[in-house]
Amino acid sequence: MTVISPPVMSGKAIARNQFDRAADLIGLESYMRRILTAPFREVQVEIPVRMDDGRIEVFTGYRIQHNGARGPCKGGIRYHPHADHDEVLGLATIMTWKTALMDIPFGGAKGGVAVDPRGLSPLELERLTRRFIQRISIVLGPYRDIPAPDVNTNAQVMAWILDEYSSRQGYTPAVVTGKPVSLGGSLGRDEATGRGVMYVMMEYGRDFGIPLKGSRVVIQGFGNVGGHLARLLVAEAGATVIAVSDVDGGIVNERGLDIPGLLAHTAERRPISAWRGGGAISNDDLWSVKCDWLVPAALGGVITREKNAKTIECRVVVEGANGPTTPTADLILAERGIPVIPDFLANAGGVTVSYYEWAQNLQQYRWTHEKVNDELRTTIVKAYTAVRDLAKERAVTFRTAAYAIALQRVAEAERLRGN
């Protein structure tokens, strides 16, 4: 089993550091800073699971609701050995800014279970999911808190969540998003995060003279976000994806990887590094592949001062993952003139289409895939444009501009509610 080294800086610390810079820019009052940096509600549970061999193993799970001023809390559930309180809180906080920046009527939450799901059988995974939902269902609900997929959780896990919640409350499809289409999921949800990343790259490329067609892209992570992004960039934008990696290693081909072939290869649960259409590289080597666009789309805390911020050779970093760049690395990249498109703008396509899924469930009405994509493009381009314009006007980074817009909106909702 591959051991993944933990991030150097916690998700919570990353979110706080970035928050302060934007709060200063908009002159946010100190009492409001306190409200907006602290979580609204935290739940930690122990989850006993009957394993296939009859033993009971106990896992720790978290559901943290950061802020619900603008609507029900919204955010994924991840299964990962390093999931802990600080990481989940940092990710819940990012969700508050993401939903505000996209201007969709949700707040921010996140869930996590400290487990390596690769060590579980499908039945153990199902029992874990059902037990976790039993223990946190009191804080969930279609108008309270709505989970979705994240690292190592997928549409099947969301289907179990729907079933577990509905078995007590009655049929409630809007309690969870990212469901299979046959159970009330939205067309286009599966690819929505990758598609949103591509739309943002298209806009940025046009505005800053790096057209996607023919440009060279490196992607860390080949799961939901990275895999769909790679496919769409090649098929719809004419880009050349030259290197990708997964947890076990990477592959590079300067002439461009055959992405449909690689996706078929990984669909059979084979490691990327065993693919014949390129040369195998280590996860560390991926960072030194020269490219136009570098897209971290795996985990947080992977671009750091110690490891790669001083040596990365790309024209733009696009944060497909949540929190991939530590604040110090962010400053180093800025000094080196490498812009960073922040996570809560770049990867907001998933939660945006989750919002459409929720709305379709409440209406019991289905949108076409085309309508989903059109609405996604309109919403994410509007957010991108607002960030681009504020960044230019105030001479700040995209990240600080995006934070300032989001903070302003959440603070306004808090004030209107009387806080």
Residues marked as catalytic: 110
Where do the DSSP E strands lie in 9-143? 41-50, 56-67, 73-79, 107-113
Q: How far apart are CA 199 and CA 196, in angstroms?
A: 5
CB of 123 to ligand NAD, least distance (A): 20
- Nearest residue to 199 via CA among 383, 403, 398: 383
Cα distances (Å, whole numbers) of residue 68 to 132, 144, 177: 22, 8, 17
Q: In this structure, are residues 104 and 357 in contact, taking their beta carbons and an 8 Å threshold?
A: no
Enter the tokens of residue 301.
């805390």
- In the complex with ligand NAD, the residue whose CB is nearer, 283 or 304, is 283
Q: Closest residue to ligand NAD, Cβ-based? A: 223
Cβ atoms < 10 Å from Cβ of 311: 9
- In the complex with ligand NAD, the residue whose CB is nearer, 150 or 292, is 150
Q: How far apart are CA 9 and CA 419, in angstroms?
A: 32
Given the rule CB under 6 A, which residues bind ligand NAD?
4, 149-152, 193, 220-226, 245-247, 283, 297-300, 320-322, 347, 350
- In the complex with ligand NAD, the residue whose CB is nearer, 28 or 80, is 80
CB of 151 to ligand NAD, least distance (A): 4
CB of 416 to ligand NAD, least distance (A): 28
Name residue 317's beta-bridge partners: 294, 340
User: In angstroms, how far is CA 379 from the centroid of its own chain?
Assistant: 17
Q: How many helices (H) and strands (E) does the chain have?
A: 13, 12
- In the complex with ligand NAD, the residue whose CB is nearer, 47 or 298, is 298
Looking up tokens 């869930």 gives 111
- In the complex with ligand NAD, the residue whose CB is nearer, 387 or 411, is 387
- In the complex with ligand NAD, the residue whose CB is nearer, 325 or 411, is 325
CB of 365 to ligand NAD, least distance (A): 23
Question: 369-394 and 189-207 are packed helices; what angle lies between their axes, rounded to 10 degrees?
Answer: 40
Cα distances (Å, whole numbers) of residue 144 to 91, 244, 270: 18, 38, 39
CB of 210 to ligand NAD, least distance (A): 22
CB of 179 to ligand NAD, least distance (A): 13
Note the helical H segments in 369-397: 369-394
